[in-house]
Chains A and B, each alone.
Chain A
Amino acid sequence: MVPVLASLTYQPVECRGSILHTFDLSNNKSLRSLEIEITLMSDHPYFSDRVGFLGDLLSTVTSPVFSDVVVILQDKIISDPDFLQNTLFGAVRDMCEAKLFRLTFLLGKSPRDGESDRERLKEMIDARVAEGMFGALLDPPVIVSYTRAACSVGNIDVEYLHLYGPL
């Protein structure tokens, strides 16, 4: 009998309190960077809370060497400026209030896409920085994009990763 995923007793964390209880980083003294992958799953009822707890999470960091936050964005994010401008940037603002760090946005994109998404994202971020939304940051936010692709040469698969440097 093969057990199916749904029948398992595994209970994912749901509310902010239990998330923080699980992700208490106060004992970690060597943490240098936190990487947060953000995807669009707007059908989920806890959608905004998932991002909203990030400021609280960062406030648990006590590592003296902590310096970087990397926000990893899937390309679909750009198609939802409302989420980006309000929910995500609001969470980033909360993180900036909790801790001083360097901020990098890592934008995944399809091989077919040009650089327009990255430029749009930069415009939005620049506008927020000019407004002072992100408060104190060690450096201006950096935007890096990447493309993961694969091709087949004969019967041999070749995978490659393109990195596009900061704007």
Chain B
Amino acid sequence: MTALPYLHHTLTLRREHWDLARGGLIPFRKLDKMRLLPFVKRLWIKHCYVDPFLPLEIFNAEGLAYFSALTNIQELGLDRLDLRVFVPQAQLYFGPFVPRLRSLALVSPRGPNRLILSLLGLFPNLDDFKLIDNRRWMSGTPDPVPVPQSVPLLRGRLTLGWFYGEDFLRDLSELSGGLRFRCMDLLRAEGLRFLLGSGAETLETLRIHPMRWTGKRFSRWSRSSLL
């Protein structure tokens, strides 16, 4: 039994896991049956190629009940989150993670960067933030943009890959009272000079990827160096 907290540290949900026609949310159900959901500290909801974006169906009544039992989630990763759908109701979907969440990763989110700020503001204890491939679906202006509810800590690690939008970094700096990350991992990110300049007082570790500054497009292979 002592190994259980470690074995169930990470839970990764894939497309087949939330196929309601085939049973739906099976990993949640199994862990819940064994009362192991509170042991999960890292939750990744992976991208699937069937749906263009993260489907709302996993946040049905059953899914929300499981999410509310995930009381110790410290790291949350979301592939292809449609910000315009989820951010206005973020408290409903991600509320159970608010007190303890320290790390948030968004891969290929859809929607304008300002909605990401609203999402970050939901988690006051957030230390690490990872944003990868935000360029493909960032068009469109939200109306209205929810005001961030709190100021996230953001003093840990910032990872940016295939990142577009220096304005977002300036807004993030304004929201959190300056960039105070201790580590930065930067791969094909815009606004490097701003990042390194405004974060100069606290930056202790810098990771760079000089061989990947041009060339291959964002891909599952290339994202592996950041995840």
**For A39, what are the chain B residues with a Cβ–Cβ distance below 8 Å?**
209, 211-212, 225
B176 to chain A minimum Cβ distance, whole angstroms, is 18
Tell me if A14 and B214 are in contact (CB < 8 A). yes
A99 to chain B minimum Cβ distance, whole angstroms, is 14
A75 at interface, CB cutoff 8 A: no
In-complex Cβ contact of B201 among A30, A37, A51 (8 A) = A30
Complex alpha-carbon distance, A29 and B208, angstroms: 18
Tell me if A12 and B214 are in contact (CB < 8 A). yes
In-complex Cβ contact of A12 among B16, B31, B207, B213 (8 A) = B213
Among the listed stretches B7-15, B99-107, B115-123, B145-153, which one makes contact with chain A, having 4 or more residues with CB under 8 Å of it? B7-15
Among the listed stretches A116-124, A128-136, A138-146, A153-161, which one makes contact with chain B, having 4 or more residues with CB under 8 Å of it? A153-161
Given A4-B136, A156-B27, residue A50 in contact with residue B210 (CB < 8 A): yes
B67 at interface, CB cutoff 8 A: no
Tell me if B139 and A41 are in contact (CB < 8 A). no
For A10-46 the 0/1 string (1 means CB < 8 A from B) is 1011100001011111011111111111111101101
The main secondary structure of chain A at its interface with chain B is: loop
Tell me if B196 and A35 are in contact (CB < 8 A). no
Complex alpha-carbon distance, A46 and B212, angstroms: 11
Tell me if A35 and B205 are in contact (CB < 8 A). yes
Complex alpha-carbon distance, A72 and B225, angstroms: 10
Tell me if A156 and B11 are in contact (CB < 8 A). yes
Residue numbers of A with Cβ under 8 A of B are 1-6, 8, 10, 12-14, 19, 21-25, 27-41, 43-44, 46-47, 50-51, 53-54, 72, 150, 153-159
